[in-house]
Structure 1
Amino acid sequence: MRNVERYPVQGPNALWQMYRTVSRFKAVRNFIAIQLARYCPELTVKNWIYRRILGMKVGKQTAFALMVMVDVFFPERIEVGDNTIIGYNTTILTHEYLIKEYRLGDVKIGSNVMIGANSTILPGVTIGDHAVIAAGSIVHKDVPAYTFVGGNPIREIRRTDAGEQKDDDKSVHLLKS
């Protein structure tokens, strides 16, 4: 299950009340920074924007493809490990504004993770190291390390143990030699 904090609201739906939870200045600043990063082809500049302007924790050699959309209101709740690839047009959310409540949850993506294009990561999800998310997936629950998942909603397709993954890494290294 997702790990989210729930905050009930009175009156109109929570989205109409969003500026009670986040300042307008922060929302506009984040929106501009995210749009720059979405179109930026230079990964070091893109990661600098995520780290320095948005406050995300982004590991070394992590690659965000073009058009990745990170959460506008709470990007600082996103953590991505080293050597991870976030595919084209993926959305990473840390908030949900609903009718009677809003929810916030940290998103933790491990190291050496591959997230396919057009996927959506919902708030409060943890994705373990070496996991693979198929393109077009909706990640609505935690994904264990070394697991290949896909679909809407996600389901496990295959799981490998750490030993098999290390053998695969050696094969790739030998191919590069």
Structure 2
Amino acid sequence: MRKTESYPVKGPNSLWQLYKTISFWKVARNFVVVQIGRYTPFLGMKNMLYRSFLKMKIGKETALAVMVVPDLLYPERITIGKNTIIGYNTTILTHEYLTHEYRLGDVTIGDDVMIGANATILPGVTIGDGAVVSAATLVHRDVPAGAMVGGNPMQVIYTAEQRQNKQTT
């Protein structure tokens, strides 16, 4: 299971009640910063924007490719380690707004991780150090350190030990 906190709502669905749960101005600011970050090709500038304005924790020499979308509502719940690559058009979510509740969960991505293009990372997920996530993967549960995962739903392709054995043979 993913590590999320659940908050029930009464009345209309939780997304309809969005601005009862988060400030409109925070969402507006985050939207502008994310749009600038999505299109900038300057990795250092993008990391600075995300660290300064969105309060994301991003390690040294981490690269978020063009069009990566960090969560607009709760980006401060995203932690990315050092020397990690997040591929083109990947989405990192820390919230889920459902019919009768909304859920929040931290996303932690370790050091030396490689995430392929068009992946979607759901709230409450941890991706371990040295993991590889193939393109177009729906990351709906934790990824062990060193593992290679892929698919929708995500499956472990190789464990860290299997990857190590393949590299030595």
- Which interval holds the TM-score relative to the shorter structure? over 0.9
SS in 2 for 1:164: helix
Query: How many angstroms apart in 2 are the aligned matches of 1:119 and 1:59?
Result: 20
For residues 154-165 of structure 1, the aligned pairs below 5 Å read 154-161=154-161, 164=164
1:80 corresponds to which residue? 80
Q: Which residue of 2 aligns with 1:139?
A: 139
Structure-1 separation of matches of 2:86 and 2:45:
16
CA shift at 1:160, angstroms?
Answer: 2.2
State the secondary structure of the residue aligned to 1:14: coil
Amino acid at match of 1:118: N
TM-score scaled by structure 2? Answer: 0.96
Structure 1 contact 146–162 (Cα < 8 Å) conserved:
no
Aligned to 2:111: 111
For 2:151, the equivalent position in structure 1 comes to 151
Structure 2: unaligned runs, 5 residues or longer: none
Q: CA 1:86–1:153 in 2, change beyond 3 Å: closer, same or farther?
A: same
Name the counterpart of 1:172. Answer: none
Q: Distance in 2 between matches of 1:9 and 1:159?
A: 40
Using the aligned pairs only, state the percent identity. Answer: 60
Kept in 2: contact 1:77–1:94 (CA 8 A): yes
| 1:20 shift after superposition | 1.1
Change (3 A) 1:26 1:60: same
TM-score, normalised with respect to structure 1: 0.91
Amino acid at match of 1:106: D
